[in-house]
Structures are given as C-alpha cells and as structure tokens.
C-alpha cells in the first residue's frame, strides 16, 4: 500500500518543477508526509508497516528523481545552449493534455511575447539571428525542419550547425538561445507557436541567405517560398563582418 502511494505521488508530480513539488494540500502528500514546523523540514511519515523511516527531505529525494527524469526527456543539441524537450502527455477518458509552458521551467528568462504562425508547404522562414531574445518553439500541427548555426564568437560551438525536425506527432519544445542563427523550413502545411524572452524589434532581427553554403545546412527543399526580405538577404560572411564591426564600434 505504501509503495503504491509513493508511485501515485510520483505519477502526479512527475512533470512538476521545484515550485510545484510541495503542495501540502494534495491528499497523497498528506498521506506520505508530516510537516515538522519546529524543524522546518518535510519528513517522510512512518506509515503502518513501513520498514524504513527516512530522515532526508522528501522534496530533495523527489527533486533528484525528477532531475534525472528530465535529463532523460531533454536532448542537448550540438549547438551550445540549444535543446529539445519531449512534452509529457496527460491522458484520461476525456482526451489528452500537454503542458506547453510553465513559468517555473528552466528557461533563461520567461517569454514576454507569444506568436502563433500558420505556414504553407514548401516555405522557408529565415535564416535569422537575434541578440536580445531567446526563442521557445512548439509545433502544433505538421512538421518543422529547424536549422541552427552558431555565430557567437565566444561560444565553444562557434561555427557549428545542426538541422533537426520537430513534429506534432510527438510534441516537443525547442529552445534557441540568442546569438544562434535559425531558419524554419516546412515541407507540409504547419502551425506552430513560439515565445520570445523579449518583445520583437526590427533592429534585433538580422539575417543571411537561407542557402548560403557557409551555413552548412542541408535543407529538404530546393526552391522554397521566401519573404521578399529573406530573398534579398546578404551572405553569412557579410553578416559576420557586419556583426564584427558593430562589436568593435566604440
């Protein structure tokens, strides 16, 4: 019985982050934990028939388990600071729920702007780069081929490129840190949402040609639909020179 309650607790809190792990009003928590006000700690209650009385904080124990679980669900990409996380579905007889974003998740900053985008097949958006905000992406329908190229001179993966695919069949969140060039390519009609950790400004929206060989990105399209701005973008080397002069400007 005690083991089944512990498993139930982890199932309920399996995808929570630190601020949500200690809801003492939850009935499973109440059945497992007694709060020692004088000691200021949460200790595992000695349940009937229990063989071990734990003296460590239950929050710390569960925290370690959740950190290991989150590590298994998160893929660190080849570009430093970029990652992809598998979103955990919660299903019952009514359907399925996915938590797309929580303010206590491990982002560098909380997104201040959210965009919903629908795009046609054979379309490419980019390649762009921002230095004032990070991007947090989730594909809701269709698929996105996300291309990354690191132009941060102080990054250990400077010059590194990677192309990954995000699909709606298995919901994933991707994080693109500032200073990493990114392009979104679509071979089918797709809808996605993305958050920005600072509100968008045109001054912070730079870019280069989507098919510049220096990017090292093998896109799955050869003649995509582009915006007029992306179609007339400069080369990657020209962009790097522009960024270099801006950094050295007094």
How far does Cα 48 stand from its chain's mean position?
42
DSSP line for 69-110: HHHHHEEE-SSTT-EEEEPPEEEETTEEEE----TTSS-SS-
* Residue 235 per-residue DSSP state: P
- 118 forms bridges with which residues in the sheet? 191
Q: State pTM to two decimals.
A: 0.71
Domains of the chain: 2-72 (no CATH), 78-248 (2.60.120.10)
Q: What is the pLDDT along the chain (250 residues), one digit of tens a residue?
A: 444 444 444 444 444 443 344 455 555 445 444 444 444 444 444 444 443 444 445 545 545 444 444 444 889 999 999 999 999 899 999 999 999 998 887 777 899 999 999 999 999 999 999 999 999 999 999 999 999 999 999 999 999 999 999 999 999 999 999 999 999 999 999 999 999 999 999 999 999 999 999 999 999 999 999 999 999 999 999 999 988 866 544 5
Q: Which of 171, 198, 166, 202 is nearest to 184 (CA)?
A: 166
């Amino acid at each position: 019985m005690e083991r089944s309650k512990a498993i139930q607790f982890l199932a309920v809190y399996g995808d929570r982050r630190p601020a949500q792990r200690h809801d003492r009003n939850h009935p499973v928590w109440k059945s497992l934990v007694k709060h020692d006000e004088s000691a200021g700690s949460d200790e595992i209650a000695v349940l009937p028939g229990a063989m071990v009385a734990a003296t460590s904080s239950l929050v710390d124990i569960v925290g370690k388990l959740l950190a290991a679980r989150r590590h298994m669900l998160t893929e660190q990409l080849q570009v430093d600071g970029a990652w992809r996380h598998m979103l955990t579905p919660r299903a019952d007889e009514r359907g399925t729920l996915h938590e797309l974003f929580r303010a206590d998740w491990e982002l560098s900053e909380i997104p201040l702007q959210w965009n919903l985008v629908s795009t046609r097949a054979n379309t490419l958006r980019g390649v762009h780069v921002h230095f004032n905000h990070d991007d947090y992406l989730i594909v809701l329908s269709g698929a996105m081929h996300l291309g990354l190229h690191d132009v941060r001179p102080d990054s250990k993966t400077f010059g590194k490129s990677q192309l990954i695919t995000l699909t709606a069949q298995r919901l994933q969140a991707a994080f693109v840190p500032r200073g990493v060039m990114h392009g979104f390519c679509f071979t089918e009609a797709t809808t996605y949402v993305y958050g920005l950790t600072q509100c968008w400004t045109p001054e912070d929206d730079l870019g280069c040609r989507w098919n510049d060989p220096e990017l090292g990105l093998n896109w799955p399209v050869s003649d995509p639909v582009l915006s007029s701005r992306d179609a007339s973008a400069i080369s990657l080397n020209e962009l790097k020179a522009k960024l270099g002069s801006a950094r050295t400007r007094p």
